[in-house]
């Protein structure tokens, strides 16, 4: 922390999401300063220096960790690098906000949780979809029992022709996986949270690469390297929970579907059902089923990435428990990893 009471933040990985969403989120907080970034790309470091006026610009994240005054590290590297950066940052006594997926295996996340507890530092996955206004409102309805017991959900993260064409997403050595890790993690985390985070019983699933290697298929985010592409472009999983409820997750970068995108979750409850993000509620009352439309658009907006950063910072400042609990993120990553394992083995994976 600086002498004037400002908290200092270092961002590791200053690419797309760091510049578009995280930096502006931190910038909104009057008692925070983003003082340093680390990125191996010279082009990115020049942008940080010349366009963002960042004071310390490094080629190696370990150099940021040597600055004792830095309180918080914000990890925005490709997925595969989350683990070493999170562990080293926690060990250097920094609080850590880490982009999704927080890790690419349950083992990695377990180690992160252990280290955050040992070092007494906050750790949170940047699951910004929990911070949209419709998520916040729907969660209130759910927690106040409006849906009764949620016994099933359909979680979709389906894109028609939106394949992120950068190596960060198409090369398994950087991403750890395809749409399952990139966008499946968003909708699974959100749905799991809506369902009250029950204990996982089993996972079964498939991961396929059907369209992404083809030269006749084009995306709206530019061309990608067909040779290098080594992750799935489609995944689907069926997850059973120990409380008897279940969830169906399906995601894709390139799906032959009618709409441009279907990023949604449908929750089936004993007293009502609801669809996110539209906020359309179907509720049985006085012997008749009603359709209720929640006027979510009327609520004031703070971009969800900014809200996530504001709330995380508040938890650091006031020493409160973070809202995206690392133990919940661990279950999410175990489910995603389980779909990959089940696809490979052809078997249902039963959790202890």
Ligand X SMILES: NC(=O)c1ccc[n+]([C@@H]2O[C@H](COP(=O)([O-])OP(=O)(O)OC[C@H]3O[C@@H](n4cnc5c(N)ncnc54)[C@H](O)[C@@H]3O)[C@@H](O)[C@H]2O)c1
Residue nearest to ligand X (CB): 15
Total binding residues for ligand X by CB under 6 A?
Answer: 25
Per CB under 6 A, the segment of 10-18, 138-146, 247-255, 344-352 that binds ligand X is 10-18
Q: Which is nearer to ligand X, 81 or 294 (CB)?
A: 81
Q: Could you say whether residue 256 binds ligand X (CB under 6 A)?
A: no
Minimum CB separation of residue 292 from ligand X in Å reads 29
Q: Which is nearer to ligand X, 103 or 273 (CB)?
A: 103
Per CB under 6 A, the segment of 72-80, 114-122, 197-205, 223-231 that binds ligand X is 72-80
Q: Could you say whether residue 132 binds ligand X (CB under 6 A)?
A: no
Beta carbons of 283 and 272 less than 8 angstroms apart? yes
Cα–Cα distance measured from residue 339 to residue 330, given in angstroms and rounded to the nearest whole number? 14
Q: Could you say whether residue 16 binds ligand X (CB under 6 A)?
A: yes
Strand 246-252's sheet: what is its strand order? 288-293, 280-285, 272-276, 261-269, 150-159, 246-252, 234-241, 200-208, 349-350
Q: Which is nearer to ligand X, 17 or 292 (CB)?
A: 17
Cα–Cα distance measured from residue 161 to residue 180, given in angstroms and rounded to the nearest whole number? 16
Can the peptide bond before residue 257 be classed as cis, meaning omega within 30 degrees of 0? Answer: no
Q: Which is nearer to ligand X, 15 or 148 (CB)?
A: 15
Minimum CB separation of residue 217 from ligand X in Å reads 22
Q: Could you say whether residue 79 binds ligand X (CB under 6 A)?
A: yes
Structure tokens at 213: 């290697």
CA distances from 239 to 29, 331, 342 (A): 39, 12, 11
Give the x/- contact pattern for ligand X in 145-184, rule: CB under 6 A.
Answer: ---------------------x-x-------------x--
Q: Which is nearer to ligand X, 44 or 212 (CB)?
A: 44
Structure tokens at 219: 């995306």
User: Which of 265, 283, 330 is CA-nearest to residue 123?
Assistant: 330
Q: Which is nearer to ligand X, 184 or 273 (CB)?
A: 184
Q: Which of 7, 8, 10, 13 binds ligand X (CB under 6 A)?
A: 13
Beta carbons of 234 and 208 less than 8 angstroms apart? yes
Q: Could you say whether residue 14 binds ligand X (CB under 6 A)?
A: yes
Per CB under 6 A, the segment of 13-21, 49-57, 224-232, 256-264 that binds ligand X is 13-21
CA distances from 89 to 41, 124, 162, 169, 183 (A): 20, 13, 33, 24, 25
Q: Could you say whether residue 61 binds ligand X (CB under 6 A)?
A: yes
CA distances from 78 to 15, 113, 125, 178 (A): 9, 20, 14, 12
Per CB under 6 A, the segment of 32-40, 108-116, 144-152, 188-196 that binds ligand X is 32-40
Alpha helices (H) in the chain, listed in sequence order = 16-17, 23-27, 42-50, 61-65, 82-91, 106-119, 133-143, 167-170, 172-175, 179, 185-194, 304-317, 326-345
Q: Could you say whether residue 39 binds ligand X (CB under 6 A)?
A: yes
Q: Could you say whether residue 135 binds ligand X (CB under 6 A)?
A: no
Residues engaged in binding ligand X (CB under 6 A): 12-18, 38-41, 44, 61, 76-79, 81, 99-100, 126, 128, 166, 168, 182
């Amino acid at each position: 922390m600086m002498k004037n009471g400002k908290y200092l933040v270092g961002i590791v990985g200053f690419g797309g999401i760091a510049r578009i969403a995280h930096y502006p989120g931190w910038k909104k907080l009057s008692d925070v300063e983003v003082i340093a970034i680390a990125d191996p790309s010279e082009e990115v470091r020049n942008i940080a220096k010349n366009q963002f006026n960042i004071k310390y610009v490094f080629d190696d994240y370990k150099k940021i960790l040597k600055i004792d005054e830095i309180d918080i590290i914000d990890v925005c590297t490709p997925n595969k690098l989350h683990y070493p950066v999170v562990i080293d940052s926690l060990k250097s006594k920094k609080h850590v906000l880490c982009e999704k997926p927080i890790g690419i295996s349950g083992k990695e996340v377990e180690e992160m949780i252990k280290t955050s507890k040992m070092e007494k530092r906050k750790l949170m996955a940047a699951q910004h979809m929990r911070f949209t206004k419709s998520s916040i409102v729907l969660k209130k309805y759910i927690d106040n029992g409006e849906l009764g017991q949620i016994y099933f959900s359909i979680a979709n993260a389906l894109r028609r022709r939106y394949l992120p064409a950068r190596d960060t997403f198409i090369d398994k050595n950087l991403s750890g996986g395809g749409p399952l890790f990139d966008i499946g993690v968003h909708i699974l985390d959100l749905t799991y949270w809506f369902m009250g985070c029950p204990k996982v019983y089993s996972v079964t699933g498939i991961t396929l690469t059907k369209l992404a290697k083809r030269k006749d298929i084009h995306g709206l985010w530019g061309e990608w390297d067909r040779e290098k592409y080594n992750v799935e472009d489609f995944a689907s999983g069926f997850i059973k929970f120990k409380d008897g409820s279940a969830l169906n997750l399906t995601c894709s970068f390139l799906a032959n579907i009618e709409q441009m995108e279907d990023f949604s979750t449908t929750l089936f409850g004993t007293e009502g059902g609801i669809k996110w993000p539209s906020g359309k509620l179907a509720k049985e009352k006085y012997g008749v089923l009603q359709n209720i439309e929640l006027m979510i658009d009327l609520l004031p907006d703070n971009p969800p990435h900014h809200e996530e950063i504001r709330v995380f910072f508040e938890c650091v400042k006031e020493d409160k428990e973070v809202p995206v609990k690392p133990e919940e993120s661990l279950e999410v990553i175990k489910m995603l990893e389980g779909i990959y394992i089940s696809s490979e083995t052809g078997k249902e994976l039963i959790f202890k």
